[in-house]
Amino acid sequence: MPLKPSERLIEHGLRLITKAEVEAPEVAERARQDLARWRSLSPDHEAAAIEALRRWQVLGGMVAELRDRFDEPAVAPVGRRQALRTLTAMAGCAVLAGTAGAWYWRQPVSEQSYETGTAQLRSVDLLDQGAESSRLDLNAKTRARVRLYRHQRVVTLFEGETRIDVAPDASRPFIVETRVGTLTVLGTAFTVKDRGGPVSIHVEHGHVRFQPSQQSGDPGQSSVDLRAGQAVTLRHGLVGPVSSTLNPQLASAWREGWLVFDNIRLDEALPAINAHRTHAIIPGDPQVAALPLTGRFKADDSASLLQALPSILPLRIVARTDGRIELRSTVRQ
């Protein structure tokens, strides 16, 4: 019976991984380069590479012993090829034959949840088990969970806004899960924002691949590749056009205490402002909600922002008895 396409891809990935692990240095380096190029061809190749790495690691301590045996000069080329085929087949069936090992592989090395309150910022260095650590910056009113596995690193953003500076590690992709899809990266810095409405992604440097979930809008949406200076926004689960920003660092200006808006609807800007306030500012009607806001404001000085709003937009400020501030239009309908 022929292999399914996904299994054929996984088997190819296993062959490259096996060569990279047990062959002579020159051949192993070429295999590592071939693997990196191959896995970047498509999301299917990337998914197959991750699964191949998982199956390979199930073999555990056998790898070092097999590498030593491959280094023995008595091993003939034909014998080496047969051993490679055998080892690849062993890795391919490891999930079936090694249930305990597979369970072990699925367990995170570490797991931690983070949450920030009103006007609270937080920076976290993730212990990636490498020479470098990835960095997670959390804006106010943000909830996220970090799980570090042996074969991948996963951040789940439940709500809020985070900037992630990823330490490169080709063997452990960095994955960010959001309610509208998944981002996969190897080494980059980017910002993800989800305040309950549109979800936006801004890339400062590197390369990010975003795969929309089937639950968010059109299930036929393909993946989106974003590079330095590019951004994309999802509204109602649908991916908008990729745009290029003049200064991608502005997307994470909140790390320096600033809120920057460039022709953003007021109802989309207010959640970011309210993350730094005890009492929320709310639009009084759809006309106010649709007003475009442009400007640069101090995150911890929303009082000055409120004073400035009536001078730049056709609205007035109304204080409610519950402490909230309502914005009402001054334009007669």
Give the pLDDT confidence of 143-171 residue by residue, as tens digits: 999 999 888 899 999 999 999 999 888 77
- Is residue 72 predicted with pLDDT exceeding 50? no
On whether the CB atoms of residues 10 and 48 are closer than 8 A, the answer is yes
The pLDDT > 90 percentage for the chain reads 36
* CA separation, residue 6 to residues 10, 182, 232, 241 (Å): 6, 19, 29, 30
Tokens 């396409």 belong to: 5
The CATH architecture of the domain made up of 110-248 is Sandwich (2.60)
| 14 closest CA partner among 77, 116, 132, 95 | 95
Between residues 296 and 186, which one has the greater pLDDT?
Answer: 296
CATH of domain 257-329: 3.55.50.30
pTM: 0.66
Cα–Cα distance, 185 to 274 (Å, whole number):
30
Tokens 């924002």 belong to: 193
On whether the CB atoms of residues 328 and 288 are closer than 8 A, the answer is yes
Task: Label residue 36 by pLDDT band (50, 70, 90).
Answer: confident
Residue 161 bridge partners (DSSP): 193
Provide mean pLDDT across the span 297-313: 90
| 282 closest CA partner among 269, 293, 296 | 269
pLDDT (tens digit, 9 = 90+) per residue, 229-282?
899 998 887 888 888 865 666 778 899 899 998 889 999 999 999 999 999 999
- Is residue 290 predicted with pLDDT exceeding 50? yes
Cα–Cα distance, 90 to 218 (Å, whole number):
39
* CA separation, residue 131 to residues 20, 57, 110, 134, 293 (Å): 20, 20, 17, 10, 43
Q: What residues have CB less than 8 Å from 207, skipping those under 6 apart?
A: 185, 186, 188, 225, 226, 227
Q: What residues have CB less than 8 Å from 11, skipping those under 6 apart?
A: 3, 52, 88, 92
- pLDDT value of position 320: 92
Cα–Cα distance, 186 to 284 (Å, whole number):
44
